[in-house]
Amino acid sequence: MNQSIYLLKQAWAGLRLKKGFSATVIATLGISLGALLCILTLAYIVIVKPLPYPEQGALYQLNSVVKDKNAEVLGRAYNYPSLIHLYDTQTVFSESAIALYSESVLSSLATHPTVKTIYATPKWFTLLGSQMALGRAFEQTENKESYNPVAILSYHTWKQKFNLDSEILDKTITVSGNNYKVVGVLSESFVEPQLAGTGSKTDIYLPWDFNSYHQSDNWRNRWGGFITRLHFIGKLDGQMAPSQIEQTLTGPFNNYWQENVSDIARFKGWTIQMELKSFKEAILGDSTNTVLLLLAGVTGLVLIACTNITNLFMSRTAEQQRQLAIQAVVGAKKRHLFHSLLTESALLVFASLALALVIANSGFWVLQHYLASSFPRIDELALNGFTFVSAVLIALIIALFFARLSAGIVNYKALNSILQSSGKGTGVQVSEKVRRILVISQVTIVTTLVFINIGLLKDSLKIITEPLGFETKDITTFNINVNGSSNLSSEQLQALMLELRNRLQALPQVDDVSQAISPLEINGMRIQTVEETQESLTIQSRYIDDRYFNMTGQTLIEGNFFSESDFKDQNYSIIINDVYARRLAGEGSALGKKISVGGDLLSVGGVVKGVKVPNETDIPMRAYMLTSADERQFILKMKPNQTLSREMIASILKEVSSQLYLKDLDTLEEKKSQMLFTQYTTAITSSVLATLTFLLATIGLYGILNYATQMRKFELGTRLAIGASRKDVISLIIKDNAGSVVIGLVASLIILLGLYIGFAQALSSYVNMGTVAMFFVTLALISLMTWFACYWPLRSIINVMPIHSLRDSQ
């Protein structure tokens, strides 16, 4: 114990004299280890840690996979009456629940905020093991067809919207015009399963009976409609394999649906197949690969940092030769010297570990606030037992590595002669083999990481800068909700929308008004039948008015846009994009082609240039049809530098009718940025990581070659003295290190090929002719880095008289 304390004191005293060395090691290692611990903890939570639900291994999500007559998957969505039949009659799951994800307006608050809602049956909370901060979860009194108007708040809604009101229970809230009594608040520790999309957080839970589809007689008996926001979850007892369960459920479910659509021609040959996914698979999706790639990236960064620090430790060991010699003279054995070196490296590594934990915790905050939509389970990120155990193990490994490396370059037998010769000619030296290994490792890691990050940066910038094909500047969109209990007729809604439109048009900030869905919103899928061939196609369909194309600036290729009279008279016309037109008429004209949509026969009156919404890889076939005059989605073309606040629009809605509530309000520029957030994040992260990797590798390579150059100072001075030119000396150093650099480049190429073979399916879209150009760019950067690392240490030799090099080497 006393010996350990003595070693700590000695190490502390020595490091205090080398503050620059200590600060460099702690900062470099602390930042890189902090990044590693952050992503390592994320990987643990996403890949290893069990889900925070009771019997999580027995929980499954059941999907409805819709296929056309060619057995091609059209999507995953439920037909509403078929889902109800499944829920009422299935016997495979011991417990089950259904839910509808939606958005509503909390109209009981003055600001009318938009809230995310789930309409669920009671077993939803039982299956998830929901803990309550206040009150209760849904019970038998909220079963399907009970129509009990109660609500449960999420903890963050209770905190943000109701200021943790302890008297919230039994108070009434109004959601989209319907009143509900609050009966519970979920615990702060409850983790919602992100089944509707990564990052989605529900604000309010309502009983199943009050969802808009269940309250609509049309939808309760609508066999031709499919809804993507419906979910079915259940618990299995494990007696049957998932594939058997899929087969068991598919037959009855598909037959029941087909019996009810047998008289609808467009569904001929269609099938619905049941798909069972474990909860973990449903929640994680394909995020595991992304997390593993991130982990590989930060691991590479740590390796580069460790390589650079290795150079510092070797230099530090060389400086300590006299101190080590004195210890050897007074009786210290090899193991004593190793313990001394280990104490110093451990002190530095564990000091950097404290900084690393701070960096990791800050990384958790960044991920949770800015990348919540990119990674699942991100709310569970926190410093935990795994983080601390991993941190200690990594620190011990790194400390032992540095100590063993330092001890390995100490010639114990020569230490006595160091004192006798005052250290001349017998100092600690790093073998050429070690130096070559360090150069190869640096080049291998930096080439691999820089190439990968350049690829990610290139693809992200391509998506960010790609033209959409329509205007987004000075355009604002908003949606309106109507009080669910108002029972307004279509004619009454049309009158209200016309009055609202006129009021908006009269505002000095507004240039134009359109009743249409935002061009950045998801299109509805409609089955459209080509009259000439009777071919049925599933087409993205957008409902718009006569002002939409003028406002968005979408290019007309042939025909005409919708006219004002078309909108007022609801003429049977349809506009399609050029992708759809080529499907109908090849290189000919699609004008006049007849298309049947929902029983209406429409004539193609115009063809527009296709547009690509952010994150779409290809331009899909799209059709534009006239919306009705009671459309509740609006697009505003604002005058330059003008905006409308949420309060102003809410005030206008209240003046028009107390039954209208503002739902969403966005500008297209904001919406576009939100949709491209992942690309922006990837671009910034990859560019920073590539730059940091390149700089660290350059510094590390410089350190290695500077050491090697100083060891050959006498030799190089001699060469200059007998007539060698500066160019000859530079070429010699580059030639001597070229072999190690080439080996590193080949090793990196093997690693990249291995990654491609191992993840061929995921990486196939990234590999093209541009990949070759990217590799040459990477080679150019590595060549520049190598030239700098070779040339810069020579400046003190080739830019002075040779006599100085000869004298300084004595």
Name which residue leads in pLDDT, 200 or 49. 49
Strands 178-186 and 150-153: parallel
Give me the mean pLDDT over the 93-120 stretch: 89
Distance separating alpha carbons of residues 337 and 256, to the nearest angstrom: 80
Q: How many residues does the chain have?
A: 810
Does the pLDDT value for residue 681 go beyond 50?
yes
| pLDDT of the residue at 290 | 81
Residue 162 CB neighbour total at 10 angstroms = 17
DSSP track, 48-104: ISPPSSTTGGGEEEEEEEEE-TT--EEEE-B-HHHHHHHHHH--S-SEEEEEEEEEE
| pLDDT of the residue at 425 | 46
Distance separating alpha carbons of residues 231 and 209, to the nearest angstrom: 15
The percent of residues above 70 in pLDDT, for the chain, comes to: 88
| pLDDT of the residue at 445 | 81
Does the pLDDT value for residue 783 go beyond 90?
no
3-state secondary structure 353-391: HHHHHHHHHHHHHHHHHHCCCCCCCHHHCCCCHHHHHHH
Does the pLDDT value for residue 423 go beyond 50?
no
Question: Which structure tokens are listed for 685?
Answer: 């992260």
Question: Which structure tokens are listed for 218?
Answer: 């049309």
φ and ψ of 759, to 5 deg: -125, 45
| pLDDT of the residue at 25 | 82
17 DSSP 8-state letter: T
Q: Which of 198, 185, 234 is nearest to 55 (CA)?
A: 234
**CB-count exposure of residue 420 (10 Å: 0-12, 13-18, 19+):** exposed
> Any idea where the domains of the chain sit in the sequence?
2-47+288-463+678-808, 69-269, 475-675
Could you read off the pLDDT of 246-288 as tens digits, one per residue?
999 999 999 999 999 888 877 888 999 999 999 988 888 878 8
Does the pLDDT value for residue 405 go beyond 80?
no
Does the pLDDT value for residue 624 go beyond 90?
yes
Could you read off the pLDDT of 195-227 as tens digits, one per residue?
887 778 899 999 999 998 888 888 888 898 889
Name which residue leads in pLDDT, 639 or 772. 639
Does the pLDDT value for residue 109 go beyond 60?
yes
What predicted TM-score, i.e. pTM, was given to this entire model?
Answer: 0.73
Name which residue leads in pLDDT, 16 or 643. 643
Say if CB 440 and CB 744 are below 8 A apart: yes
**CB-count exposure of residue 603 (10 Å: 0-12, 13-18, 19+):** middle
Give the chain's count of helices (H) and strands (E). 27, 22
Does the pLDDT value for residue 410 go beyond 60?
no
Give me the mean pLDDT over the 783-791 stretch: 85
Say if CB 350 and CB 17 are below 8 A apart: no
Tell me the pLDDT band of 409, cut-offs 50, 70 and 90.
low
With vertex at residue 491, the alpha carbon angle to CA 485 and CA 493, rounded to the nearest 5 degrees, is 50
Give me the mean pLDDT over the 126-152 stretch: 94
Distance separating alpha carbons of residues 349 and 356, to the nearest angstrom: 10
With vertex at residue 520, the alpha carbon angle to CA 516 and CA 522, rounded to the nearest 5 degrees, is 85
Does the pLDDT value for residue 731 go beyond 90?
no
φ and ψ of 214, to 5 deg: -70, -30
Helix or strand holding residue 528 (H, E): strand 524-530
Could you read off the pLDDT of 280-333 as tens digits, one per residue?
888 888 788 888 888 888 888 788 788 778 767 766 665 556 565 556 555 556
Distance separating alpha carbons of residues 513 and 696, to the nearest angstrom: 54
Does the pLDDT value for residue 79 go beyond 50?
yes
- Contacts for 194 with CB less than 8 Å, ≥ 6 apart: 200, 283, 376, 377
Say if CB 604 and CB 591 are below 8 A apart: yes
Could you read off the pLDDT of 360-380 as tens digits, one per residue?
999 999 888 877 777 888 888
Distance separating alpha carbons of residues 800 and 810, to the nearest angstrom: 17
**Would you give the distance in Å from CA 652 to the centre of its chain?**
38
Task: Point out which residues pair with 536 in neighbouring strands.
Answer: 529
Q: What Å distances lie between residue 173 and 176, 179, 239, 294, 372, CA to CA?
A: 10, 6, 44, 43, 28
Give me the mean pLDDT over the 712-737 stretch: 80
Distance separating alpha carbons of residues 575 and 563, to the nearest angstrom: 12
Does the pLDDT value for residue 335 go beyond 50?
yes
Give me the mean pLDDT over the 104-124 stretch: 88
Name which residue leads in pLDDT, 754 or 504. 504
Q: What Å distances lie between residue 590 and 292, 303, 660, CA to CA?
A: 48, 60, 41
Q: Which of 50, 69, 46 is nearest to 59 (CA)?
A: 50
Looking at every residue in the chain, the average pLDDT score rounds to: 84
Does the pLDDT value for residue 430 go beyond 60?
no
